[in-house]
């Protein structure tokens, strides 16, 4: 009898101890800040399929990811049309995405600290239609701001071993979020690609870029690419995990200005 009573006391202490510990976790504070998705079900996500989000102290959630508009067009877009609340370890989100669809989402926090945030999906509805999602999502917190280092002119090329492209290019990034892209034509003239329509989004060391008409593939329409970047002094490195399982990469050096001494086309 004493053994049974003692076992009951131990279970009770453990239960109330765990409950008290859970109640003391301030999830609403821990989720604040900006995050980038890195893994789904513990597998690395394709870099172009990653997304970024931010929980703000005014209960607004911003969200950014790539959207496929149609067979020829895809683009990266940001939205601040979501609000959220926190109930225990559950985050409840409502709002409209950039295409006008209403989202209702409920996420359960599985783990969170100052650098990592892992959650599962309890409920996911688009325009009142439920889409079950059994995956878990792991995200890293954005703790660095590379903007001041990133803005400027860069000159370089791909370092992907299997690439057939051995040409050099210029990228000129501006503080207002747009960029110019230069390539060299068959006559050796540096061309500021006239239909580039480039703009970029920088989330810590995660870069998303919109552009049009990929010169190498010959495709038409709007497109975007995402990269994980690092900057060491005046050298910048890009890497991206693509859908063929290949890691693509670029290396470039910061220079004083875009190309000169050869005719430029606009």
pLDDT in tens, 199-247: 999 999 999 999 986 655 567 789 999 999 999 999 999 999 998 889 9
Which residues face 37 on adjacent strands?
Answer: 139
Contact 178/198 with Cβ under 8 angstroms?
Answer: yes
Q: Which two tokens stand for residue 17?
A: 């101890």
**H or E element: which one contains 4?**
helix 2-24
- The rounded mean pLDDT for the chain is 89
Instruction: Give span(s): CATH 2.40.128.280, the chain.
Output: 27-141
Instruction: Give span(s): CATH 2.40.128.490, the chain.
Output: 147-255
Could you give the CA distance from residue 178 to residue 213 in angstroms, rounded to a whole number? 16
Place of tokens 């409840």: 92
Of residues 21, 53, 23, 57, the one with CA closest to residue 36:
53
Could you give the CA distance from residue 25 to residue 109 in angstroms, rounded to a whole number? 11
Output the pTM of the full model: 0.86
Contact 146/205 with Cβ under 8 angstroms?
Answer: yes
Is the CATH number 2.40.128.490 carried by domain 147-255? yes
CA–CA–CA angle 71, 72, 76 (5° rounding)? 100
In this structure, the number of other CB atoms found within 10 A of the CB of residue 150 comes to 18
In this structure, the number of other CB atoms found within 10 A of the CB of residue 2 comes to 6
pLDDT digits (tens, 9 = 90+) for 101-149: 999 999 999 999 999 999 999 999 999 999 999 999 999 999 999 999 9
Residues 6+ apart with CB under 8 A from 139: 35, 36, 37, 38, 53, 116, 117, 118, 119
Query: Into which CATH architecture does domain 27-141 fall?
Result: Beta Barrel (2.40)
Residue 10 pLDDT > 60, yes or no?
A: no
């Amino acid at each position: 009898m004493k053994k049974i009573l003692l076992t009951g006391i131990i279970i009770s202490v453990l239960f109330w101890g765990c409950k008290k510990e859970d109640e003391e976790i301030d999830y609403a504070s821990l989720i604040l800040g900006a995050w980038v998705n890195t893994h789904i079900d513990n597998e690395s996500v394709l870099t172009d399929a990653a997304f970024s989000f931010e929980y703000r102290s005014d209960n607004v959630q911003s969200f950014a990811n790539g959207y496929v508009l149609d067979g020829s067009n895809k683009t990266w877009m940001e939205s601040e049309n979501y609000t959220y609340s926190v109930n225990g370890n559950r985050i409840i989100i409502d709002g409209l995405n950039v295409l006008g669809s209403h989202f209702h989402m409920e996420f359960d926090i599985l783990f969170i600290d100052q650098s990592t945030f892992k959650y599962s999906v309890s409920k996911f509805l688009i325009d009142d239609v439920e889409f079950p999602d059994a995956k878990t999502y792991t995200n890293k917190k954005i703790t660095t701001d590379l903007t001041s280092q990133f803005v400027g002119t860069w000159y370089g090329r791909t370092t992907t071993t299997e690439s057939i492209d051995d040409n050099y290019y210029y990228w000129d990034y501006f503080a207002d979020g747009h960029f110019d892209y230069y390539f060299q034509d068959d006559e050796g003239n540096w061309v500021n690609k006239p239909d580039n329509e480039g703009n970029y989004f920088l989330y810590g060391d995660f870069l998303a870029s919109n552009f049009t008409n990929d010169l190498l593939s010959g495709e038409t329409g709007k497109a975007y690419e995402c990269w994980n970047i690092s900057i060491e002094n005046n050298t910048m490195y890009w890497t991206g995990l693509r859908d063929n399982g290949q890691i693509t990469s670029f290396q470039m050096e910061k220079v004083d200005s875009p190309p000169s001494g050869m005719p430029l086309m606009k």
